[in-house]
Amino acid sequence: MITEDRLAYRAALPDGGRLLGLDVGTRTIGAALCDAGWSFASPAELIRRTKFSNDKEALAALIAAQAVRGLVIGLPLNLDGSDSPRTQSTRAFARNLADLDLPILLWDERWSTQAVERQMIAEDLSRAKRAERVDKLAASYILQGAIDALVSG
């Protein structure tokens, strides 16, 4: 199941469970995990993209190691809410993960990277440290927004 409907996604996971949030970029995939009760999201790891089969294998290993029950993938919509080429690429990425047999929620990520960048600048992190952390933190931001919406009903 791939959906943008949080209620349908929540219905697919009536007992909750650990979720994996993904910020899918062209060169990296930022990954974040949340607890089984959907309280908090934390950055997990950064996967350097190579070819899709390798990316999927890395994700499958993380899913198995962390007992993940569902995926939340950031959907890079245009500011007006319309699709872009990156949005279409992300939807295709999600479709290619469908055989992992986990429910997938596509979550609006329009402001995630900017919010994370602002926070890191406020914390006075160097440009190099920001570049190293931004994708994992963006995945965490995306996942936290999703679980907050899932819990609030």
pLDDT computed for residue 108 by the predictor: 86
If you average pLDDT over residues 61-67, what whole number do you get?
95
Confidence of residue 9 (pLDDT cuts 50, 70, 90): very high
- Across 102-107, average pLDDT: 95
**Confidence category of residue 36, pLDDT binned at 50, 70, 90:** very high
The residue-averaged pLDDT of 127-141 equals 69
Residue 132 neighbours by CB distance under 10 Å? 12
Contacts of 115 (CB under 8 A, 6+ apart): 141
Say which residue, 23 or 138, is predicted with more confidence: 23
- Buried b or exposed e, range 59-79, using 16+ CB within 10 angstroms: beebbeeeebbbbbbbbbbee
User: What's the Cα-to-Cα distance from 17 to each of 32, 69, 85, 113, 129, rounded to whole Å?
Assistant: 14, 5, 32, 26, 31
Please give the average per-residue pLDDT across 17-31, as a whole number. 92
Mean pLDDT of 80-98: 89
Distance CA 89, CA 133 (A): 23
| pLDDT of amino acid 20 | 96
Burial 94-117 (b: 16+ CB within 10 A, else e): beebeeeebbbbbbebeebbeebe
In this predicted structure, the answer to whether residue 131 has a pLDDT above a threshold of 70 is no
In the DSSP assignment, the letter for residue 41 is E
